[in-house]
């Protein structure tokens, strides 16, 4: 179970779940990061889709450990539009989940110049509504180092 923090309304766009993504965002609001796993071929995917992209079967939900590794990232230093301008500089990264899929998200709670490819990160949730939260990432706290263990 990951930490869920109520988001401060800052004007950033918030997700509007549809019938496919609603279970995902609802799990996020409970502090669980879900991905989809295909019951036929075992393929794991993110973002939520109605069908397995490998074989077309209907995917099932799987709870992740909420841990991953920075696969790649960029530091956003210029942005003329609010509310993003007020957040500069910030990091947007592709996180490789321990379960495999890549997921895009902000990396916070660290100086932007300290973020590195290969860095271990943990998810936390910013709740933007009753059944909606958005995954964010921060350096792993405690002893959860080492991928997939």
Query: For binding to Zn ion (CB under 5 A), which residues are involved?
Result: 38, 40-41, 43, 52, 54-55, 57
Q: How far is the CB of 44 from Zn ion (least distance, A)?
A: 10
Cα 94 from chain centre: 9
Q: How far is the CB of 94 from Zn ion (least distance, A)?
A: 23
Q: Three-class SS of residue 35?
A: strand
Which of 64, 69 has the CB closer to Zn ion?
64
CA distance 64 to 57: 21
CA distance 2 to 103: 16
Q: How far is the CB of 123 from Zn ion (least distance, A)?
A: 25
CA distance 25 to 57: 22
Which of 52, 125 has the CB closer to Zn ion?
52
Which of 42, 147 has the CB closer to Zn ion?
42
Which of 18, 40 has the CB closer to Zn ion?
40
Q: How far is the CB of 133 from Zn ion (least distance, A)?
A: 27
90: β partners: 76
137 and 2 in contact (C-beta within 8 Å)? no
57 and 49 in contact (C-beta within 8 Å)? no
């Amino acid at each position: 179970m990951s930490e869920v923090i109520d988001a401060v309304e800052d004007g950033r766009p918030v997700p509007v779940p549809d019938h496919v993504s609603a279970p995902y965002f609802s799990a996020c609001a409970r502090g669980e990061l879900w991905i989809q796993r295909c019951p036929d071929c075992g393929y794991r995917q993110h973002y939520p889709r109605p069908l397995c992209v490998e074989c077309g079967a209907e995917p099932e939900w799987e709870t992740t450990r909420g841990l991953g590794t920075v696969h790649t990232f960029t530091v956003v230093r210029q942005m003329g539009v609010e509310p993003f301008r007020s957040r500069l500089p910030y990091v947007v990264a592709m996180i490789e989940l321990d379960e495999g899929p890549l997921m895009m998200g902000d990396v916070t709670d660290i100086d932007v110049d300290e973020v590195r490819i290969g860095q271990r990160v943990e998810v936390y949730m910013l709740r933007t509504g009753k059944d909606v939260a958005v995954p964010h990432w921060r350096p792993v706290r405690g002893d959860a180092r080492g991928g997939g263990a």
